[in-house]
Amino acid sequence: MEQRIRIEIMGKDDFWERAFHVEWEYQFPDRKLASDGAGRFFAPGNWLGDLEGVGRETFCTIVRAPENPRRREWMSSLMPRRIE
C-alpha cells in the first residue's frame, strides 16, 4: 500500500496558491490531491518531488503537514509569540 502524506501548500499569497493548483492539474491531470477540508492535502509520498517542482514554478513551498494538526496548535500555544 502506498504511503500517503499530508502537505501544506504555502504560497506568496492566495493568487500563487491558486496558481499552484491550476498548474498541478495542467501538468498532472490524472493526479488528484485530496483536501482534508482544513487547507491541507493528502497525496502519495512518491509525488513529493513533483509537488515541490510545481511549487517552485508557482512561488509556493510544499511542507509536510503534521499527521495530527492539533499537536502543532498545542505546541504553538506553549511557545510565546514574538512581537515585533
Q: Report the distance separating Cα 43 and Cα 66, nearest Å.
A: 14
pLDDT at 20 over 90: yes
Q: Which residue has the higher pLDDT, 36 or 21?
A: 21
Strand order in the sheet with 4-11: 34-35, 40-44, 4-11, 60-64
pLDDT tens-digit series, residues 55-84: 999 999 999 987 655 655 555 566 666 555
For CA atoms 24, 29, 30, 34, the dihedral sign is: positive
**Domain assignment present for 84:** no
Which of the four pLDDT bands, split at 50, 70 and 90, describes residue 44?
very high
Total number of domains constituting the chain: 1
What CATH number did the domain enclosing 55 receive? 3.30.70
Average pLDDT over residues 36-61: 94
**Domain assignment present for 42:** yes
Q: 24: domain range? A: 4-78
**Domain assignment present for 83:** no
When mean pLDDT is compared across 17-21, 35-39, 40-44, 71-75, the lowest value belongs to: 71-75
